[in-house]
Structure 1
Amino acid sequence: MKSRMHKGVSLILGLGTACTIGLSSLEPASALPWQQLIFNGVQLLQLSNISPQQTVALGQNIHQQVKQNYRLDSNSKTNAYVNRVGQRLAKASNCSQIPFRFYVVRDSSINAFATTGGYVYVHTGLLNAVDNEDQLASVIGHEIAHICNNDLINKLKQTQLAQGAASLAGLDQSAVTAIAYQLAVDLPNSREAEFNADDKGLQYMRRAGYNPKAMPAFLRKLVRQSSAPSFLSSHPATQERISVIERKIANGR
């Protein structure tokens, strides 16, 4: 689902997504609250040393956009289930200090996504597709890994480096939030980021006591469907992912 963007955001993102993975990060600068990162009409994103508190604040802002564009499920039992699985995995992650929040989106498509600062979203279509809690944990663990790896912040860095500070002149906080929203929800992660999230997700599953074999099992189930779900459309070739994951499981990683 496309977000409701400020005018010109699509152009900005078009420039940003043209950059290659692996660009160097910005020079360190003193950490500032996110709301104060505007100077003289030019957006100076202090992304090289953004604090966990600032990522949480950005995640909160993006959450407001998610609520405008998606219908969040109000079923207390379903939300409690997803939150229980998510918190179990979050505690086993390498960024457990982040206050993770898990939400259920009323959408029949098989999908899940994460933003930053601990915000993870699971579609009802995904909940209906998994065979057991371990398979659900494989997806949530993958999304938690994106947050632990700061993948959205890295996308923002690449966007900033690709266009330069001057091209961000005049953008206010809401526009920056809109850009971050589209990067998180509408645009795919890099191949490297997806494989890293699989790797970290497997580690979190093991630590949390889930069966890591559920990850390739669920991917196989999706591949067997007549039409590929959106969950796979933004990821690397699924068969390759399955092979890499199974090798890591066999090697005890």
Structure 2
Amino acid sequence: MSLSLDLAGRVALVTGGGTGLGRAATDALVAAGATVVIAGRRADVLEAAAKAAGAQALSCDVSDRDATHTLIARIMDAHGQLDILVNAAGLNIRGDSFEYSFDDWERVHAVNTRGLFFMSQAAGRVMRERGYGKIINIASMASEIGMPGIVAYGSSKGGVRQITQGLAVEWAKSGIRVNAIEPGWFRTELTEPLFSNKEWLAKVESRVPMGRAGMPQEVGGAIAFLASSLSDYVTGAILRVDGGALAA
């Protein structure tokens, strides 16, 4: 058995692959030799990111179940296989839980949990046919600790942890490995408003043993590992990439 980070000959799909941690996953998979398709709702962002990364872009709203199945069908028509799925599409709407709206709650969970599950289902069905697949979900440290103002987000990411572990157990016999990355504080398009608050940033950095927040590209190595043959006996794992924050 060959153990390698080389992903030549593999086809990968990264949802939310145009920005933030999704873009970091895209860059890492391309660098490892995979053919990468990125998907998201904003066609202009996708096209620019795909051109810069050497990937392909396909528009898709992951909260639309029919759209996820259409996306997988298009990838299969173009490439004949799908080996790796990175579920990086995510949404966070902050708000006081006393006043949080039904619509905002539904929007967050539609993308972060429902969309992730049905994208995994569509991809998993084609992976099952070949007896091989790697699914990598982006969870969050907010699934393990309470954080004010993001209860919808934290609960949705708790769902990601459970989806990851449940599918790992259920799909192992089909040759599909399902794991998750649990990032700590990272500077992305989604979190940029927080990082502009110097007081907040100082507080965060004081809680991280490594003394700083992460940069998106620092997730890339973990993504490449979980996508490669080096992790073929790893499934159901939740890999923290947080500078030691949750261990402190």
Q: Which category describes the TM-score, using the shorter chain as reference length?
A: under 0.3
| Structure with bigger gyration radius | 1
With the length of structure 1 as denominator, give the TM-score of the two structures: 0.26
* Greater relative contact order structure (CA < 8 Å, 6+ sep): 1
Q: Which has the higher strand share?
A: 2
With the length of structure 2 as denominator, give the TM-score of the two structures: 0.27
